[in-house]
Chains A and B, each alone.
Chain A
């Protein structure tokens, strides 16, 4: 049974048109992460929530925002997608932020295409 669920699996949007990607989890984990993965590259952390505490990576563009209305759900909002934002977006969770024996569990990702 999937524990980190991302919807949709594939998303197509137009250049400049806002888009929202969704992630939900059944693990009751405190931490939720959003990664961007471009073709043949490593996943790059955009931001993470520790409970309601939002932590943005220094090089994450302002165009990317996130919301976590409750423990189970986290959203990635791209306000004005550009062609360079086409990528796979991965959501992950972990029970706690520290790495001590608490690995991250990933969803299957949403592949975003920009027309």
Chain B
């Protein structure tokens, strides 16, 4: 079956880089997403990567995909206190789950001043 795994917690100092890791099991995954959830709020799409890419950069965010190892990471450069939130990795595939998202349990990022 489909499964997405993430470490639950990450703590960094303001100004450092944060790297949040994710592994998935479905080799037919088409798109992989990163969502951010602030306390008491819904999920905000941060970025996504198509499975035929190995890197995508968007301002302070860099997504790396190792398709062979089914490993996805999100790097946040110059982490700010406003980046403190829960980050969810999610995958979908075109056919198997009808495009529905399979989420990991989320990584809680704490940024210390």
Q: Chain B 31-74, CB within 8 Å of chain A: the 1/0 string?
A: 10101000011111100101000000000000000000000000
| B105 lies within 8 A of A42 (CB) | yes
CA distance A104 to B104 in the complex (A): 16
| A90 lies within 8 A of B42 (CB) | yes
Q: Which residues of A contact B41 (CB under 8 A)?
A: 108-109
Asked whether B24 is an interface residue with its Cβ less than 8 Å from the other chain, the reply is no
Number of residue pairs A-B, CB distance < 8 angstroms: 64
User: How big is chain B's contact interface, by range?
Assistant: 20 to 34
Q: Which residues of A contact B105 (CB under 8 A)?
A: 40-42
Q: Chain A 1-31, CB within 8 Å of chain B: the 1/0 string?
A: 0001010000000000000000000000000
CA distance A94 to B98 in the complex (A): 12
Q: Which of B11-19, B76-84, B86-94 participates in binding chain A?
A: B86-94
CB contact under 8 A between A100 and B43, given known A41-B105, A45-B101, A48-B100? no
CB contact under 8 A between A42 and B48, given known A99-B30, A106-B42, A106-B43? no
Q: Which residues of B contact A99 (CB under 8 A)?
A: 30-31, 92-94, 99
Q: Which residues of A contact B103 (CB under 8 A)?
A: 42-43
Q: How many residues of A contact B (CB 8 A)?
A: 28
Looking at the assembled complex, report how far the CB atom of A95 sits from the nearest CB atom of chain B, in whole angstroms: 11
| B42 lies within 8 A of A97 (CB) | no
A107 CB contact (under 8 Å) in B4, B42, B45, B93: B42
CA distance A70 to B94 in the complex (A): 26
CA distance A99 to B94 in the complex (A): 6
Asked whether A111 is an interface residue with its Cβ less than 8 Å from the other chain, the reply is yes
A90-B43, A97-B99 known; 11 new pairs, CB 8 Å cut-off, are A40-B8, A43-B43, A90-B42, A94-B99, A98-B99, A99-B93, A99-B99, A101-B31, A106-B35, A108-B42, A111-B40
* A-B pairs with beta carbons under 8 Å apart, 7 shown: A33-B100, A41-B105, A48-B100, A90-B43, A105-B45, A106-B45, A108-B40
Q: Chain B: residues with CB nearer than 8 A to chain A? A: 4, 8, 30-31, 33, 35, 40-45, 48, 50, 88, 92-94, 98-101, 103-106
